[in-house]
Structure 1
Amino acid sequence: MSTAVAVLGILRFSPEKITGVLPHLKVLVEATRKNDGCIAYDVAEDPFDPGLIRFSELWPDQESLDRHLQAPHIEPWRVAAQKIGILEKSFTAYDITESRKI
């Protein structure tokens, strides 16, 4: 049985800097969805915690995730996010051997 990889993560910025983050985030998400072979790649600001960006990602395998992390559009995103000022970062990957709709 093949193993997919789910990634859940957060980035935190000062709420007043979110408007500066969003254009860079849009470029990242669009490029990832178009080029990186993800099954799902979703990002949103938490409506109850301004400045907190939540990521949920689903990859067909670890190799796809690894390629994504080295893709050409990742470094410009990282540079922009650092320049804007990341306050917190946390991502965790999970191996998924079975899925079901609930």
Structure 2
Amino acid sequence: MAEEIIVAGWMDYEPGDRATMLKALAELGRQTRAAEPGCLDYAMTADPDDERRIRVYEHWTSQQALDEHFATPHIKDFRAAVAGLTRVGVSLTAHSVAASRPLR
């Protein structure tokens, strides 16, 4: 069985661009969760303490599923839609998950 992948971190945008990016990410998330069986979770949220920051969390069944995500039509449409927005910082890390257990 392939190791699951978690992508986590943040992206910073000019304050005037963050709302537009969040709206585009919400639509991308809906399409990704609906159309990609390898996507276990996909969430981008506004950081309540930083007007520039978007928190990123993605959970994938495998690296292959994540790689296939980047080739989907909805990713291409998303990238075109947000091409004019100004990202001023980013820190994203992909984590390979060897084992998981419920937290009680």
The DSSP-based 3-state class of the residue aligned with 1:7 is strand
Q: What is the aligned partner in structure 2 of residue 89 from structure 1?
A: 90
Q: How many residues align?
A: 102
Q: What is the aligned partner in structure 2 of residue 100 from structure 1?
A: 101
| 1:27 pairs with 2:7 | no
For residue 98 of structure 1, report the CA deviation from its aligned partner.
Answer: 0.2
| Farther-moved stretch of structure 1 (71-80 vs 61-70) | 71-80
Conserved 8 A contact 1:5-1:60: yes
Between Structure 1 and Structure 2, the one with more strand by share is 2
Identity %: 31
Amino acid at match of 1:50: E
Q: What is the aligned partner in structure 1 of residue 5 from structure 2?
A: 5
Conserved 8 A contact 1:36-1:71: no
Conserved 8 A contact 1:11-1:53: yes
| 1:42 pairs with 2:17 | no
Unaligned runs of 5+ in 1: none
- CA distance, structure 2, for counterparts of residue 11 and residue 25 of structure 1: 12
